[in-house]
Amino acid sequence: MTTTGTHSRTDLETWALERAVELGAYGPVAGGNPRVGCVLLGPRGELLGEGYHRGAGTPHAEVAALAAVPASRRHLLAGGTAVVTLEPCHHHGRTPPCSRALHEAGVRRVVHAVADPDPAAAGGARWLRSVGVEVSTAAEAGLAPETRSRAADLSRTWCTAVRRGRPWLVAKTATTLDGRVAAVDGTSRWITGPEARSHAHRFRAAVDAIVVGTGTALADDPALTARGPAGPLPHQPRRVVVGERDVPASARVRQGPGEWCHLRTRDLGGAVTELYRLGARHVLLEGGPTVLAAALRAGLVDELHAYVAPVVLGAGAGAVADLGVRTLEDAARWRTVDVRRLGDDMFLAAEMRRPVTEGEA
């Protein structure tokens, strides 16, 4: 395949990668697996099939795309190209290796945007080359940089978690305009309005675990479930309390759908590593101020979600306990990645950006 009509191979593969990213985004963030999309092109650049990964235990994107090719067009796979957002896996997990599935279908060329950082699954590109399939990263294939960057973004939090063996950690605060999370008497319900709370609940349903300190568990007795207007949302994250004090037998966090656990420690690095071991790749830290400060001090927080309400208290606990910062120059500067209005409140997401290298993207 060199050109089809007026389109070059690079244009077609860029289009295919763009589409693969769009498809991959339908996949769930929670569940321990990456979001991946795949588009299969015939020898003349014709679209043969497309698919994405719908979550742990379901077919990978490549297998879903192969299954979507109509029987009458299967022969076109011989000499065709697979464009995938993540390197095809090469291991027998809950599903067979995608590398073999592509080879057996006759695919001649594979273009992937991101190398698989999981040592157990990696090696797909190398194996495909060893059996004579032409393999290129999206960068080597010269695909458009903006598309490559969107493809890297699709699995970035998962890849970061897997590379370092620790979940992607999002810390959430709900504060007044003057940065307070509770009034002097400890009341904090509700600072933000229904739209902000509903947004926060939808995000809870997109993570693998929610963590609070024993202070919050004892003061607020939160349920930590993901709820919508019609009740619990389909995915329930693991509910986690961290700290040395007991969690009362009557605590709401012990009840409800899904699993919960008490990590009886103040070692937050150890706690999140334990959550990784339990399968969590995306974790939400919902405070309070003591645990949030400890996590920030330990450099464990990757992303901040701040919900800010137009309420002024003038006194009461701040969102984050003392970090030891004494001059502005010493304060970490985060990068704003999202801002939106939610009813009367404001939502801001900021990231502690860690570089993605071209070998990864």
Question: What residues make contact with ligand NAP under the rule CB under 6 A?
Answer: 173-174, 181-182, 186, 188, 191, 212-216, 219-220, 242-245, 266, 268, 286-291, 294, 317
Name the residue nearer to ligand NAP (CB basis): 59 or 213: 213
In angstroms, the CA 81 to CA 161 distance is 29
CB of 353 to ligand NAP, least distance (A): 24
Name the residue nearer to ligand NAP (CB basis): 178 or 358: 178
Name the residue nearer to ligand NAP (CB basis): 21 or 296: 296
In angstroms, the CA 121 to CA 360 distance is 15
124 and 99 in contact (C-beta within 8 Å)? yes
235 and 226 in contact (C-beta within 8 Å)? yes
CB of 296 to ligand NAP, least distance (A): 11
54 and 28 in contact (C-beta within 8 Å)? yes
Q: Whats the size of the chain, residue-wise?
A: 361
Residue in 126, 106, 61, 116 with CA at minimum distance from that of residue 86: 116
Name the residue nearer to ligand NAP (CB basis): 154 or 224: 224
β-pairing, 134-137 with 168-176?
unpaired
**Annotated catalytic residue: which of 13, 50, 62, 303?**
62
In angstroms, the CA 63 to CA 272 distance is 32
Q: Which residue is nearest to ligand NAP (CB)?
A: 215
In angstroms, the CA 204 to CA 212 distance is 13
CB of 312 to ligand NAP, least distance (A): 15
CB of 256 to ligand NAP, least distance (A): 18
E strand intervals along the chain: 3-4, 7-8, 37-41, 47-52, 81-86, 109-114, 134-137, 168-176, 209-213, 227-228, 231-232, 238-242, 260-263, 282-285, 303-309, 335-342, 345-351
Name the residue nearer to ligand NAP (CB basis): 17 or 295: 295
CB of 169 to ligand NAP, least distance (A): 13
In angstroms, the CA 38 to CA 155 distance is 13
In angstroms, the CA 22 to CA 19 distance is 5
- The verdict on whether 62 is a catalytic residue reads yes
CB of 61 to ligand NAP, least distance (A): 36
Name the residue nearer to ligand NAP (CB basis): 244 or 259: 244
Q: Which residues are part of the catalytic machinery?
A: 62
